Structure 1
Amino acid sequence: MAVSRQTMTDEQRKSVAVEYLKAFDNGGVTSTGGSILELFATDAQVYFPKWGIAEGREEIGKMFGEVGGTIKSIKHDYSSFNWVFSGGDTVVAEGTSYGEHQDGPWRAGVPEWGAGRWCDVFEIRDFLIQRCFIYLDPDYAGKDTARYPWLGAR
């Protein structure tokens, strides 16, 4: 990773994270018409459950293509995000989303145990995402119930 050259405030880091999430909602296109990948450092890391860790913009693009290819639409509920700031480069965003996966629709809270709740841990320096680890249930449509006996009872 590159040596940090620019001091950033928590609000500036938050604005980078929000731009990333809005670009994801917009099919990978940022508010300026650029690629979501331009928000990442060239040597960034992204983790997505059931995919693993992608390293560098090329592999991140591959991951987003594979995961995003299963999602017909997604919207994040920006007004209800929880933000946690470390006082350093780390910013945590917790929130909800809704949309349609190739296997069906999802909405946080419908059902309560289903997909739609997520938490992203970012490291943002020099106005670029250095690391983004995404924590969520990737079973968007709630089809993976046979392996969880408590879901069968509901």
Structure 2
Amino acid sequence: MAVSRQSMTDEQRKSVALEYLKGFDNGGVTSEGAPLLDLFADDAQVYFPKWGLATGKEAIGRLFGDVGATITSIQHHYATFNWVFSGTDTLVVEGTSHGEHRDGPWRAGVPEWGAGRWCDVFEIRDWKIQRVFIYLDPDYASGDTARYPWLKP
């Protein structure tokens, strides 16, 4: 990791995280038309459930390509985000989404136990995402129910 050169406020870190999330809603492109990967440090890390840990922009690009190939569209619900600031480079955002997966649609709360609720833990320094760990149920279309007895009708 590079030595920090710029001091950032929580609101500035939040703006980088928002640009990242809006980039997904915009098909992987930032509001300025740049690739989503431009928001990341060269040695950044991203964790996604059932994919694992990607280190560096090339691996992160593979992760986003693999996951993105299964999702037709996504829309994050910005008005209901819950932000947690640590006073350091780390911030957490909890939220909901809806969209279309290759296996079917999803919407947070439909059903209540289904996909659409998520939490991301960011580390942002020098206007670049150093780390984002994504915590969600990757079974977007809620098809994996046989293994969970409490979901049987």
TM range (shorter): over 0.9
Residues 93-138 of structure 1, C-alpha deviations (whole Å, 9 max, x = no match) = 0000000000000000000000000000000000000000000000
In the alignment, what sits opposite 2:85?
85
Residues 58-107 of structure 1, C-alpha deviations (whole Å, 9 max, x = no match) = 00000000000000000000000000000000010000000000000000
TM-score, structure 2 length as denominator?
Answer: 0.99
Distance (Å, rounded) in 2 between the aligned partners of 1:136 and 1:75: 15
Distance (Å, rounded) in 2 between the aligned partners of 1:36 and 1:24: 8
Alignment of 1:47 with 2:47, yes or no, is yes
Q: For residues 44-123 of structure 1, what are the structure 2 equivalents within 5 Å? A: 44-123=44-123
TM-score, structure 1 length as denominator?
Answer: 0.99
Superposition deviation, residue 141 in structure 1: 0.2
In the alignment, what sits opposite 1:138?
138
Superposition deviation, residue 149 in structure 1: 0.6
Secondary structure of 2:4's aligned partner: coil
Aligned length: 153
Distance (Å, rounded) in 1 between the aligned partners of 2:124 and 2:24: 17
Distance (Å, rounded) in 2 between the aligned partners of 1:23 and 1:141: 22
Distance (Å, rounded) in 1 between the aligned partners of 2:28 and 2:57: 13
Segments of 5+ residues of structure 2 without an aligned counterpart are: none
| RMSD between aligned residues | 0.4
Superposition deviation, residue 144 in structure 1: 0.1
The alignment-based identity, stated in percent, is 78
Distance (Å, rounded) in 1 between the aligned partners of 2:65 and 2:25: 14
Distance (Å, rounded) in 2 between the aligned partners of 1:37 and 1:24: 11
Q: What residue identity is the alignment partner of 1:145?
A: T
Distance (Å, rounded) in 2 between the aligned partners of 1:136 and 1:54: 16
Alignment of 1:7 with 2:39, yes or no, is no
Q: What residue identity is the alignment partner of 1:3?
A: V
